[in-house]
Amino acid sequence: MTTRAEFLDRIRAQVRRAPGRFQAASARRPRHAAAEAETIRRELAERWPETLEAFRREFEGVAGVFHRVASVDMVPAVVAGIARERQARELVTWHPTALGADLAPALGARGLDVHSMPAAAPAGSAERERLRTIAARADLGLTGVDLAVAETGTLVLVSGVGRPRSTSLLPPCHVAVFDRTALVESLRQVGVFLEAWHGDGRAPAGGASINFITGPSRTADIELTLTRGVHGPKEVHAIFVEQPIRG
């Protein structure tokens, strides 16, 4: 039986192993968010390789698996390899217009049973439940990425029609595809984009939630014993595409 002293010592040891990664501070609210977001995009177009390397390092540090391919037509081979290693067959994916490419035919040709989310909003509760059931039984969930945050290795996904949050949350393995246009350096920059999206109505989608995904789902009990996959995927893979996904 664990004594009170042993219990507290264990917590202190775990806390010492996870010091603060960076100083937290309140950020100013941008006065012209859309213009500032465009400036960030322009500056990152020059230094995206360094930003990508920082993202890879942090993403792998939170148990994410990073892949890099030259073009989007190489993505199905990577996804099929992930599925093969896990003996997975069923995959649910964002609609091609949300993903930026129609990968279903190539994935199907590699032996995967592919379910694409519809382009239109589900008509009624029965259809919504049917789509949730598909996502819940799928082995893999394939999505795009709206922002990839180098500072923390975080993927930011906006929900909406053709891109429900169930695609990334319900399957045990989440695979996210992105290119350099999704890269940002910091959470402060994420705040600028959120303000811009809500300020001028040009958000990636009009869903009710924005998900910040930093590695696989983790749940800890009071003694800080970590378990993966209780409230989300056990694995998160990020596939970086060197050439722009959207032409």
Q: Which residue has the higher pLDDT, 25 or 136?
A: 136
**pLDDT, tens digit, for every residue of 51-105?**
999 999 999 999 999 999 999 999 999 999 999 999 999 999 999 999 999 999 9
Sheet holding 154-158, edge to edge: 183-184, 147-149, 154-158, 210-213
- Asked if the model's pLDDT at residue 222 lies above 80, the reply is no
Token pair of 38 as six digits: 């465009």
Report the chain's mean pLDDT, rounded to a whole number: 89
What are the boundaries of each domain within the chain?
A: 32-241
- Asked if the model's pLDDT at residue 21 lies above 80, the reply is no
> Given this structure, which CATH class describes domain 32-241?
alpha beta
Angle between helices 187-200 and 33-61 (to 10 degrees): 140
User: Mean per-residue pLDDT for 17-40?
Assistant: 77
Amino acid at 170: L
| Half-sphere exposure at residue 90, Cβ-oriented, CA atoms within 13 angstroms | 12
User: Mean per-residue pLDDT for 32-52?
Assistant: 93
Asked if 184 and 149 touch (Cβ cutoff 8 Å), the reply is: yes
* pLDDT (0 to 100) of residue 24: 64
**pLDDT, tens digit, for every residue of 94-139?**
999 999 999 999 999 999 999 999 998 888 899 999 999 999 999 9
